[in-house]
Amino acid sequence: MQIIICHEPENWADDAADEVSRQLARNPASRLSFATGATTLPLFDELVRRHEEGRIGFSQATCFQLDEYRGLGAEHPASCAHTLINRFYNRINIRKENCHFLDGLNAAPVEFCREYESLIQEGGGIDLQVLGIGLNGHIGFNQPGTPFDSPTHSAKVEDFTWQKNTRFFKNPEDNPRDALTMGVATILSAKKIILMARGGEKKDILCKALFGPVTEDVPASVLQKHPDVLVILDHSLSKLCSS
């Protein structure tokens, strides 16, 4: 595991964007997956900027959605698909047919998740997975207690995460209690993983995830078992695990 501290807020997304650029230079038909949330928005903007400058192209790339609320379609502004489409996919030259979504409106989630997992694994897996981390250590929508061998599945949104996410909904009652998510095993099967985190409030959970015991109680701790993880932190996290 390699850890990079980014000291200038304006360059926050550069190292992750460099990795995406390198991945696409090595293999233009790479299979990518990106978390949404506040952490990765600057990365989307930086990748769009590089695309507009002709420095990066996605015409052969494929993207797989990491997670989605159940009950929300892509037109809902709080859905992860809405963010991916409007902040990223519509601004780069990725082909629509190469963007795979977790359909939050699907009425048969078990079958849907099984097929989604097959689509990922039978096509050769994910080449580069970009993650954020929740304050309880969740990755994707994999909450504490999620088995490490879980494939793409329908998950309960734990109370703590649900409370945090109400800020994205005008009416808290619209905030779903269930989600679809690539599983911990799906994430771990990616060839390379980037974990991005910023803001001092994530210090304690990062300390546990990166240096504590590997336990299903802290889903992100599983990343310690992966051979190729790049962790990108901002200056407020430069002194992890110290008071």
End-to-end CA distance of the chain: give it in Å, rounded.
23
Neighbours of 159 (CB within 10 A): 11
Closest to ligand F6R by CB, 48 vs 60, is: 48
Choices 50-58, 71-79, 109-117, 133-141; region in contact with ligand F6R by CB under 6 A? 133-141
DSSP code of residue 192: E
Choices 17-25, 89-97, 137-145, 232-240; region in contact with ligand F6R by CB under 6 A? 137-145
DSSP code of residue 236: G
> For helices 14-26 and 41-52, what crossing angle results, to 10°?
50
Query: Binder to ligand F6R among 6, 80, 188, 205 (CB under 6 A)?
Result: 80
How many residues touch ligand F6R under the rule CB under 6 A: the total is 14
Cα distances (Å, whole numbers) of residue 92 to 27, 46, 141, 229: 17, 11, 26, 26
Residues 36-55 that bind ligand F6R (CB under 6 A): 36-39
Q: Are the C-beta atoms of residues 19 and 26 closer than 8 Å to each other?
A: no
Q: Which phi and psi angles does 29 have, rounded to 5°?
A: -95, 30
- Examine residue 158 and tell whether it contacts ligand F6R (CB under 6 A): no
Query: What would the x/- binding string for ligand F6R be over residues 92 to 131, using CB under 6 A?
Result: ----------------------------------------
Closest to ligand F6R by CB, 15 vs 57, is: 15
Say if strands 229-234 and 192-197 run parallel, antiparallel, or are unpaired: parallel
Query: Binder to ligand F6R among 19, 46, 67, 158 (CB under 6 A)?
Result: 67
Closest to ligand F6R by CB, 30 vs 181, is: 181
| Residues at the site binding ligand F6R, with contacts judged by CB under 6 A | 35-39, 66-67, 80, 132-134, 138-140
